[in-house]
Every structure is written in structure tokens, then in C-alpha cells.
Structure 1
């Protein structure tokens, strides 16, 4: 309830009490001490305009000055009757202080007609109670307003921080293929065009999506991301479009979907190629008409949302196989940005590695600040099937293991050790899948091979175990057991 409604209800309650009339709330300026009528019941606009008092002036001014309730007869010379009541000699004037955190910030005043002393004292107690209640209400609203101002300021600070963090110039990589990506972001960012980001898992599609959003006129509005492969089909539609209370078992309250939450801003739909046909149809409608219905509702809702989508799958092949709608493909593929695999921009590997060392190494004591030459050669030689995400995880792990401020070869995963440019890389070949250290036994080599295949499948599926299991031709249960065995969870 708004503060004005609380005050209005309190003043009306006083006005309806037999013998009471013209209740009003005054507030005072803490610097000048001047007070004025903030809200009243039964007074004319002219009376409200005249109801201003200097500090210590009249009964209102004296109550604000002293902090004590005063009751005076209308015939008293202390009663100014600035509001021009008729026949003030037949009334008493009750004025009680309103306090905020112990300081007097105003008064509650009321005219009382024809009361004997006992009845008058009861009414004085009532007016004081109302003044105390309004003081608490004002305190709560003021604290809420201060909290809102603080939250808004923090939101502005965080938005500015995000804009700075996700500036195009802050994306790491100077290979010519990345320069082409930066150019495309700059071309499309300031429009409302739907963008399709394509590339293997771990290449930084969400980073590019955020950079596009924060370089657009929608930068102050929400950026809402959803991984379409991370949720079962039964939940995905609710996540996208929302639901009404009771729409299905477990829908205990109405919930907005991601499109509503992103209204005015940008929605990023990752792994768009994993959508089921029924959800594809509903997404197509949103892209065409910018409208949808929550689950369990017939009310059509409109949204002003820019759509950025991403996929690592071959959508053209999915269309040919009947798994993806051709009309949705054309709606999404208005402007495409292809992100290169890390192995195709090997010159950026060490630049990225040093970037991650700076990010995670500064948190260590002593800080980890550099990579040894041997470790750098191994990083450069690896083919990074999990792309930038795999490299980041590798460096974060190495930072935890490193001592003396330097990442050395022994701090890197076993799958990287022994892989140097003089080996398969020098021959123009990718490192052998599951390379084991020299002298390894058959069991150790098979263990390394299994781990490498798991890592590759998880990297290519963006960490989705179900998709990785399908790619490897094993059950999800076996996938879970092997992930646990190799500590990849």
C-alpha cells in the first residue's frame, strides 16, 4: 500500500470519530524548521495552502520544536486559527508529534468539538497513537525508498561494469578469423536483426552474444540467456513462455518466461538446434509476430525482444533429416557469425592462456604470473577439441597446482604432456587421440584413450552428458559412471 493511502485511511478514521473534524498531517523541513500541511481530510485547497508554520510558530510549530503533544482551547491566544475555522471557541485543538528515528518530522492535528475532559484525554491518546503509527509507516517507506535508490545505483554500476567487461575490444584474440568476427559484431550490433552464432562448443558464442547486446541500443535493458539443451522438453516451454498457476502439476504460482523477462532487451538462445518440433513452432511464432501465450493462459502477450541464437550443430543437415524446421532456420539465419575453433587460430592460444593466468593467478598467494616455456609449447601443440572453454579449465586447474608463481608442464593435464610441436604437429597432423606418456602400459594407454574420448565428447556437447553419451554410442548411465571414474564431473 502506498504511503498516501496509509495516511489517508488514518485521517479518515479520525474524521469519522464523533466530535472530531479536519484531521491533517504536517511535515517539516529539517533545515529551516518550516512545516506545511502534507495531507488533510475535510480541508479546502485554500486552507491547505494557508497551513504553513515557521519553527516554533503556533501550536504546530511549538509541537515540532518541543516534541510534546499539546491540547489548547480554540479561544486561547496561542491558537492562531490560520485555517479560519468558524466558532473556534467551541472546540479544542489536539496536536501530536510524528517521529522518525527519534526526530520530530511533523505532526498529526485534529479539531475536537464539545468534549468533556475524560473524553478529550481518550482522543488525545488516539491522536498520539495515530501519530506514532504514521511515523513508523513513513520510516518504512523511507527505508524502502533508500533501499530502492541503493539497488538502482548498484544496478547502474553493474550494468556499466558489464558493458566494460563485454566490450568488443575486450574479447581476446588477434587472429584474422577473429578480426572478421569483431567486424561482423560491429556491423550488426546497433540493429534489431536476429543473429545466428555458429561454431563448436566452447568457442565463445555467449561471449559474442553479450558483446553484441552491450554494443547495441538495448544495452541498458536485460540480457537473458537460456541453454535449450540443458532442460527437458517438458520444462523448456515453461522457461521460454512462462506459465499460469495450476497450469500443470507443480505450477504453484504464476511465473514469467524468459521472453517476458527479456522484454525491451535481448534473449540469447544457446543450442537452438536441440529444440523439439513443438517448441520450434512456438518459437517461430514469436519471431514472426513477437507474441505468445503462457502455458495455461489464452491471453496473448507481446514482447519487444531481440533474439540471438547459437548452435554447434549442422542445421542444414538437421533440416534435410526433418529434425529442424526450414522456416525457423530462415527466421534465425538473418545474419550469421561463424566462430572459429581454437585449433584454427592457434596463434591466439598463448594470448588466451596468459589472459586466464592473469584472471585466476591473481587470486593465489603468491600470485601465479606466468607459464614456463615447456608448458607453453604443450599448450600451443594441443588441438583443443573443447576450444576456449577447455583451455580456460586447463589453466584454472594448473593455477591451483602451480607453486612459485609459474605454471610448469607437470601442472597440465596428462593428456597434454608429451605433446610438442616436434611430434604430430610438425607433421601437420592432429595429436593422436588419447596419447599416453612414453612407456605406458596397455591399461594406462587404454585409460588415457577413454578419458580423452570422454573429454572430446563432453567438449563438443558443451558439457551435456546425454548428448555426449549419444555421440559415443553408450547409455547415459555408463556415461555417468565413466565421468565419475575419470573425475570429469
Structure 2
């Protein structure tokens, strides 16, 4: 008597469902199927590629419409479909269950197989994979599911759905599925372990990446002034884009740190981050450094050399002191920005270029354009997203935080053990005009930490230029009052920014009356409306 499916499976072994007896045959008749499954597993390089064919084999052997292998992900406590036959890709994506959810979740929870005669009348059948409740001929559908166990631990489930037949020996069908499940269980467990390990690595990598981003900002860009918070906000806004960034500011303010932060918070962070300083290279070498050269391009060019653009492919190129670039090099750089390609010096091969450009300068480029020393078209190409890093004298209330930061850095670098900085030394730091900005402050703290004899940085440990009015040229009549007023104004602005322009909350935060705050706002000509609704 012929079966309702193609009797030829693989190399000719036949469906082992006996319609006359109303049961599946036992014993040696299972061996061809088990041998075939074992061979497929042993010969597979990647078990993932073998599981779907195994599910097809199981479905045909057991006269089933669909078969499904689900695996328990212990990391997230979810049961996901790993392989299947007769289920669409879209429906397969929906087949994820919590432990205890639906029939699949209950089998994982209890460890007991379940045989449902007719799913259209079954209670608790979630049917996330949109299994038809009846055939087109209105025949009932049965659903059979067994747990897959390895070393007494449930690692997943194996299930089939087939046309209901009251003659079927349920225990025998469950036994066959259990044997098949046990066979593929070890392979499933190995894949489960690998997938969970990969998932842990991904989560750990994401967490470490986030911690590194935050630590980078915390360790290198120290301060809490409104101006610095605005820069943090701009970095967040531009880092996820591919826009060209122009960083402005005096020498020593930390422009390179902004470039670092933008790159390492971007989607290019795993790609190269290459830096070049135009002022540090002679005019004769800058083209070769940027674009590379061919062998024999000039005297001494004994071999081919890749330039910074090639080395930064797919990543970021930071060009510092862009204002020092010569007119011919400005033209070449403009071409790269426009056409995304270049040639090595002495070569004629065009090289495509996928590099994000970040530039920095302490020069007044607008003035340089008027004077004719900087191209206006290049300026507009570079100035897509400008960021201005304020001088240290513009963020005086960051000095105490910076001083503490540089003390810790000096302790780690030189083995010093400075505990604190005296208030008189802080006062001196707050009054000084800092022509060298952050770089000068760091050097000042490191020197003071080295010469301190009692684990405290005192005013006498600071350089002479910070100790006396005569040598520093910082003090003049009324200067202390001016500095105090500058700090007071900056504190008010910072608090207004944090409170989104709310004067009452700002007064409360600063522990002064609303009237006194109003007087100071008038005195310093602060535009409160500018800070309303502005989150820092």
C-alpha cells in the first residue's frame, strides 16, 4: 500500500509509517534514518548548515507537514527556532518563547513531551509560527513535541505537525522523536554554548566600548563649565555622522582630544585613526606624507610609500594646524574632499579614498582668506561642523577639577603621592592668565608635584610666574576683583544653563535670593532668554 508522501527518501529508504497497522515500525527500520542523521552531523563543518536538511529528513520520515528544532538560550531565558522544515522565514522569526510560554515553553519547563491530537481545539497552543489549524481538506492537525536533553539538562525541543490519525501509536512516535533529539542533542548543545559565548562577547564588547567612550571623555576632557558641556553635546551630535569637522581654538586647549573623541565615538572607531601636523613637516615633505609617493618620485625615494590618506582608509584622518598648509597643497586637499580620490607623488594611478577628515587650527582662517593665504572654497569644505574649544581663561571654574586630574596623572606617571592642592595655590591658578592653556597647566602641576615635600601642592611649589605679580604681569590694580567677577558670572551662566533659564531654581541652587541674583544678572548683562529650554 503506497504512503501519502514520496516513498523515496535520500538513497531510497522508505517512510516507516505503516497505515495498515496504524503505527510506526520499531527496531532496525529506524537505523537508515539514524545513520543518515549521524553521517550528516559528522560530515558537516558547520552544524547550522546541516540542521535544516535534518529537519526535512525527519518530516519526510514521519509523514509530517512541518518539523521544528528550538534551542533554549540560557543567557536571555528564551527559546528560539534554530532549524525547521515547512515554515516560512517570516513565521520562523516569530517563533520565540519564554520558559513556560505555550506548548514549547511548557515542555522546556517540565521536561515532559506533549502530544496534541487536534490543535484547533487545544488549550494553551500559542501558534506563533501560524500553523494551519486544519488542512485545506478540513482534516485535523496533530502536534507532537519532545524535550531534547543532554546530561539531564534540557537544551531545546524537537516537534512535528502532521495530519491527525487516530490509529497512530503516540508512545512510539514520541519515542522516535526522542531518539532523534538525543542524537542531535550534543551537536545542539555545542552550538548553544558557542552562540551564548558569542552573545556574551558581544555584550561585553558593547559594555567595554561604552565604558571606554565615557572614560575617554572623563580622563581627557575634564571640566563642568557650560562651555565644555556644550562641546560634549556637539561631539555626540557629529560623531555618528560623516561630516567634516573643523576644530578651532588657541594652542594647548586640547583640540586633538576633541578629534580623538569624535573618532572613537563614531562608527569608524575600529578603523585607523591617523594624525598629521602640518606645522611639524617641511613643505617639501608634506605632499609625500599626505598622499604617499612612488619609487623614484624624487631623490631618496628608494621604494613606494603609502601616505596618510591610504593608511587612514575607512577611518579618520586628523590634520592639525591646517592653516599652515601651502597654497598648492590646499588645492590638492580640496580635490580629495571633492572627488574622494588622489594620486601618489610621482604616480598616475588614481586611488579611491574613503576617509573622514577632521582638521584643527589656531589661526584666524577668515582673516587668512581676506589676506589671500587660505582658499575660501577649501574653508567652506572644512567648516561643515565647526567646534570651538575655549581658552582656559574662558573656563576658570574648571581649573580646580583640572588641577585634581593632573595631580592624579602626575602621581601615576612619576610615582609621586600628592594628596591635595592648597587653597592659596588654587587662588594663584585662578588668577593667572594661562597663555599656554591646558598644556601649560598640566606642566605646572607636574612640576609642582615633583618638588613638593609634604604631599601637598602649595603656592611656593608653583612656577615663579604664578607666585609674584611682578614676574607674571598678571596682577594689576583691581585684577583680583575682575577675576572674582569673571568666576561669579561664569557660575551664574553654568547654573542658568543647567536649570534651562529658570531664575528661581538658579537662585536656589546658588543659595542666594532671587533679588540678588537679578542684580548680578543685570550687572553682568546676562541674557536669561538665551538659556531657556536649553539643556546642557
Compute the TM-score of the two structures, normalised by the length of structure 1: 0.53
CA distance in 2, matches of 1:366, 1:230: 33
CA distance in 1, matches of 2:268, 2:431: 41
Give the C-alpha shift of residue 364 in structure 1. Answer: 4.5
Structure 2 CA distance for partners of 1:301 and 1:355, relative to 1, 3 Å: same
CA distance in 2, matches of 1:211, 1:399: 28
1:279 equivalent in structure 2: 329
Name the SS of the counterpart of 1:267 in structure 2.
strand
Name the SS of the counterpart of 1:197 in structure 2.
strand
Structure 2 CA distance for partners of 1:211 and 1:421, relative to 1, 3 Å: same
2:283 equivalent in structure 1: 233
Structure 2 CA distance for partners of 1:169 and 1:379, relative to 1, 3 Å: closer
Conservation of the 8 A alpha-carbon contact between 2:321 and 2:361: yes
Is 1:350 the counterpart of 2:404? The answer is no
Of 388, 391, 410, the match for 1:360: 410
Conservation of the 8 A alpha-carbon contact between 2:452 and 2:461: yes
Structure 2 CA distance for partners of 1:422 and 1:354, relative to 1, 3 Å: farther
2:482 equivalent in structure 1: 428
Name the SS of the counterpart of 1:362 in structure 2.
helix
The aligned runs of 1:89-488 (5 Å cut-off) are: 163=213, 165-167=215-217, 171-365=221-415, 367-419=417-469, 425-428=479-482
Gaps of 5+ in 1: 1-155, 431-489
Conservation of the 8 A alpha-carbon contact between 1:199 and 1:338: yes
Name the SS of the counterpart of 2:281 in structure 1.
coil
CA distance in 1, matches of 2:412, 2:352: 46
Conservation of the 8 A alpha-carbon contact between 2:431 and 2:483: no
Conservation of the 8 A alpha-carbon contact between 1:199 and 1:312: yes
Deviations 1:300-343 (A, max 9, x none): 10111000011111101000000000000000001101111100
CA distance in 1, matches of 2:299, 2:477: 58
1:51 equivalent in structure 2: none
RMSD: 2.5
1:147 equivalent in structure 2: none
Deviations 1:167-203 (A, max 9, x none): 4786211111111111111111100000110111111
Structure 2 CA distance for partners of 1:354 and 1:168, relative to 1, 3 Å: closer
Conservation of the 8 A alpha-carbon contact between 1:267 and 1:306: yes
Gaps of 5+ in 2: 1-204, 485-536
Conservation of the 8 A alpha-carbon contact between 1:237 and 1:279: yes
Conservation of the 8 A alpha-carbon contact between 1:226 and 1:269: yes
CA distance in 2, matches of 1:170, 1:409: 25
CA distance in 1, matches of 2:427, 2:441: 14
Deviations 1:284-306 (A, max 9, x none): 01111111111110001011100
